[in-house]
Amino acid sequence: MNGVEALGRRAALLEEGARRAQARALRRYVLVYLGLVPFLFIAVFPVFWMAITAFKTDADLVNPRVFPFWFHQHPTLGHFTYLFQHTYYGDWIVNTMLIAACVSLVTLLLGVPGGYALARLGLPGAENMGIAIFLGYLIPPILLFIPLSRVVALTHLIDTRWALVLVYPTFTVPYCTWLLSGFFKTVPPEIEEAALVDGCGRVGALVRTVLPVSLAGILTAVIFAFTLTMQDFLYSLVYVSVSDQKPVPLGVATDLIRGDVYFWGSLMAGALLVGVPVAILYSFFLDQFISGITSAAVK
């Protein structure tokens, strides 16, 4: 075999290998997609229904004889315009985002140091303190809201959105502290010690070494805090009765349901306008921490 033939042979083999690898990858993709179909279906069909409803005319919705998952009459943007023209929806979105952002911030301010202390510093009694923080969850909000009312009243924040910024961390802090402590634990102590040796001081070591590497955990904590904030209904109900201070879930449920009359189209429109962007945000952040952020940890 001469040199040219050998090269040609090798090229062919490489090509063959590449094709096989491609076929394998394709097979894997297909399998994964197939696997995902049922999940997508389960997760998405109610949302799909909600989306269709947001664009359906009311008459179309209460017609029991037609296929509910598509339009019988022309779709309409009326429900969306109703939201913005006849309710305080604009205010509600601002409130929701503002509250969620502030609550996430507060959660981080309390949870990052707390989680770190629990994870790293081997403090006596810290274990019990950490557990005590978590036990806060076992008290149902339907009970807690009454005595909590007095606390909130003392701050004079009742009927403002800040009342919610005050109370929502009661359910974001416990979980996020534990979550963060779990993430902090996975950070190798060596990098911290290296920073300490370099003369960083404890806070500096924390900020410079542990935090960047735990970005995944911090982002998770932020997203959870965000979502939990948007889920609450009871606290917002009892602490905020003023229309333009309400967050979206409360505003939509109180102003778009008048006893007998459910403004279904606007209800769904209202939910989607808020839920979909957050879902998109989620997908971006999930990607962030899964695509090898931890590679930065090992220098």
Partner 1 sequence: MADAELAVGRRVGVRHRAFTRERLVFGYSLLVPAILYMALLVGVPFFFSLYLALSDASVGNQVAQYVGLRNFIAIFQDSTVRLALRNTIVFTVIAGIFKIVLGTLMAFLLVQEIPGKKFIRSLVVLPWTLPVAISALAWKWMFDPQFSAINYVATRLHLIHGWPNWLGEPGLAPAAVIAVNVWRGFPFAAIVLMAGMSAVPPELLDAAKVDGATFFLRYQHIVIPLIAPILFVGLLFDTVFTLSDISIVYLLTMGGPENFTEILPTRAFEIGIQAGALGRGAAIALVLFPILVPVVYFLLRNLRRREAL
Partner 2 sequence: MAQQAKDGCGRRLTRRQFLTAAGAGAAGAAALKLAPWEAGAAPAQIRGTSLRILTWSHFVPAYDTAFDKYAADWGQKNGVTVRVDHIPIDQLPARIASELAAGAGHDIFQMNGQIQTTLYYKNMVDVSDICDRLGKQGGGWIPMAKNVAVVGGHWYALPEFYIPQPVLWRTDLFKEYGLKVPSTWDDLRAAAKVGKPKSHAAGMAISHCNDANHNWRAVFYAFGVKEADPTGKEPAWDSKELREAMRWSKALWSEGMTSEVFSWDNVSDNRYLDSGVAIWIHDAISAIRSIQDSNPTLYNNVNIAIDGLEPRGPAGRFAVVDPTILGIWKFSKNQAAAKAFLEEYGGDVKFSLVESKGYNMPYLKKWYTKPMPSLGDDPKVKLLQDWDKVAYVFGYPGPATAAASEVLSTFVLPDMLARYCRGEDLESAIKWGMGQIKSIYAKYKS
For helices 264-290 and 248-255, what crossing angle results, to 10°? 170
Q: Is residue 3 close enough to count as binding partner 1 by CB under 8 A?
A: no
- Find all residues with CB under 8 Å of 257, minimum gap 6, and list them: 263, 267
- Among positions 111-170, residues that touch partner 2 (CB under 8 A) are 145-147, 149-150, 152-153, 156, 158-159
Phi and psi for 69 in degrees, rounded to 5? Answer: -95, 10
Place of tokens 């929806």: 89
Q: How far is the CB of 140 from partner 1 (least distance, A)?
A: 3
User: Does position 32 bind partner 1 by CB under 8 A?
Assistant: yes
Cα–Cα distance between 71 and 52 in angstroms, integer? 8
**212 C-beta neighbours (distance < 10 Å), count:** 14
Site string for partner 1, 210-249 (x = CB under 8 A): ------xx--x--x---x--xx-xx-------------xx
Q: Which of residues 145-174 bind partner 1 (CB under 8 A)?
A: 146-148, 151, 166-167, 169-170, 173-174
The one among 97, 133, 163, 164 contacting partner 1 by CB under 8 A: 133
189-218 residues near partner 2, rule: CB under 8 A: none
What is the distance, to the nearest Å, from the Cα of residue 293 to the centroid of all Cα atoms in its chain? 19
Task: Please pick, from the candidates 12, 13, 21, 127, the single residue that binds partner 1 as defined by CB under 8 A.
Answer: 127
| 295 is a site residue for partner 1 (CB under 8 A) | yes
Residue list 72-111, contact with partner 2 (CB under 8 A): 85-88, 91
Per the DSSP assignment, residues forming a β-bridge with 261 are: 258
For tokens 């274990």, name the residue: 127
